[in-house]
């Protein structure tokens, strides 16, 4: 269960001092004989007449100090409401949900996650091209989900105002808070993210028959994760060009560590599945692609059996969860491409050196029993007032030989 976290923010308000003074006398563009005195009398005459009531404007709400994110309920309706969210906590094992402490009047917002398996939850953020005038890093502030989630909002008096399925969209105040939230939801640390133009494979080619860029994922954000329990690294990308439009996750240890097929000029890299070079020849025609189909789940839950005394995957068989031979990635920016190469080498080296037994995927951790100070005082303590009793030492072998 993820721990709660909090952060603070402060606001400063500015007010205009006294109005500026003018050295030039007042002049009317319509009447040259206009004077400030006549203008004042005219204004007083106008203001003395009754005026029609005007609708008051809503006050500008800058939010309470210390809030970490916002969410909008009843969006695009007359009852639209922005909720300011404080610290959060991910609780539950059978029905996981995010508990948000709201910033106003002890309100509570519960975000129910649709799956009990943390690895099946995929927070979604945008590619820099979707908002070209925004800093790419700031796009991590806007976190959403591709499927509707249940959200329940309760006031401080216990009145439930909202309890429906909705498109969940958070807007965080800091990138650090957003990254921490995404990690808590998935129980995986988000190490880095990269904007990619296209992700393809030998199953889903980079271009179609007319030469148009297609692939399996187009203009998406690739993310690198590290599991908090097993320390395995994985990559996720939204496959918006495949049937079902779902997220795909690939564990790094299923690929070769050495990236032989890479093109710095075009910012491209090819991740080769382990054992694919010996098991099959490279694809050269579209007919070979038609013989493969993507499985619904592309993520192996645990490490492949090649490390537990089983035959190595390099012996000629592909991992059971993959039906393609390589995964190609074209990055949007060169700095993302170079940063990925460094991250890939470190992550693959870490996964390759790990020979331990990982945690089971659905394990439940029980809280440790608390030891109260009263219990500590009742523990027996050794009596050191009597001192230490002497212990007889065995005779030395040299002395026994001399006596003989």
Candidate ranges 57-66, 88-97, 301-310, 350-359; pick with highest mean pLDDT: 88-97
pLDDT of residue 133: 83
State the SS3 of 64-91. Answer: CCCCCEEEEECCCCCCCEEEEEEEEEEE
Angle at 279 between CA 277 and CA 284, to 5 degrees: 65
Tens-place pLDDT, residues 115-167: 999 999 999 999 999 888 888 899 999 999 999 999 999 998 999 999 999 99
Split at pLDDT 50, 70, 90, the class of 388 is low
For 341-370, the pLDDT digits (tens) are: 999 999 999 988 765 455 555 555 566 565
For the entire predicted model, the pTM comes to: 0.66
Q: What is the pLDDT of residues 295-341, one digit of tens each?
A: 344 444 433 333 433 444 343 445 556 778 999 999 999 999 999 99
pLDDT tens digits along 16-40: 334 444 444 444 445 555 555 554 4
Written as one string, the DSSP assignment of 19-67 is: PPP-SSPP--SS-TT--HHHHHHHHHHHHHS-----PPPPPP----TT-
Cα–Cα distance for residue pair 68/80, rounded to 1 Å: 20
């Amino acid at each position: 269960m993820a721990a709660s976290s909090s952060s603070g923010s402060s606001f400063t308000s500015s007010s205009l001092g006294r109005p500026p003074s003018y050295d030039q006398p007042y002049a009317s563009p319509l009447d040259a004989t206009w004077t400030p005195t006549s203008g004042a009398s005219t204004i007083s005459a106008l203001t003395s007449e009754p005026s029609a009531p005007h609708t008051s404007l809503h006050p500008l709400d800058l939010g309470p100090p210390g809030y970490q994110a916002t969410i909008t309920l009843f969006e695009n309706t007359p009852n639209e409401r922005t909720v300011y969210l404080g610290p959060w906590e991910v609780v539950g094992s059978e029905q996981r949900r995010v508990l948000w402490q709201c910033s106003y009047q002890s309100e509570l917002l519960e975000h129910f996650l649709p799956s009990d398996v943390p690895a099946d939850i995929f927070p979604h953020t945008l590619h820099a091209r979707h908002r070209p005038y925004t800093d790419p890093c700031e796009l991590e502030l806007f976190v959403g989900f591709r499927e509707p989630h249940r959200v329940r909002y309760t006031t401080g008096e216990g009145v439930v105002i909202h309890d429906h399925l909705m498109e969940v969209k958070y807007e965080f105040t800091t990138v650090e808070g957003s990254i921490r939230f995404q990690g808590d939801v998935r129980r995986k640390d988000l190490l880095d993210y990269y904007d990619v133009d296209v992700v393809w494979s030998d199953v889903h080619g980079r271009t179609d028959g007319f030469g148009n860029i297609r692939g399996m994922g187009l203009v998406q954000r690739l993310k690198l994760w590290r599991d908090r329990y097993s320390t395995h690294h994985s990559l996720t990308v939204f496959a918006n060009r495949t049937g079902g439009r779902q997220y795909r996750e690939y564990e790094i240890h299923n690929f070769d560590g050495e990236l032989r097929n890479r093109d710095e000029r075009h910012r491209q890299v090819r991740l080769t599945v382990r054992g694919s070079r010996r098991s099959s020849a490279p694809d050269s025609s579209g007919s070979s692609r038609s013989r493969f189909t993507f499985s619904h789940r592309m993520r192996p839950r645990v490490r492949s059996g090649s490390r537990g005394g089983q035959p190595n995957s390099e012996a000629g068989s592909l991992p059971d969860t993959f039906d393609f031979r390589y995964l190609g990635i074209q990055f949007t920016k060169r700095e993302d491409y170079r940063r990925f190469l460094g991250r890939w080498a470190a992550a693959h080296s870490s996964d390759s050196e790990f020979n331990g037994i990982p945690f089971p995927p659905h394990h439940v951790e029980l809280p440790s029993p608390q030891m109260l100070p009263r219990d500590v005082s009742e523990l027996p303590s050794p009596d050191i007032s009597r001192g230490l009793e002497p212990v007889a030492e065995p005779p030395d072998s040299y002395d026994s030989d001399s006596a003989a």
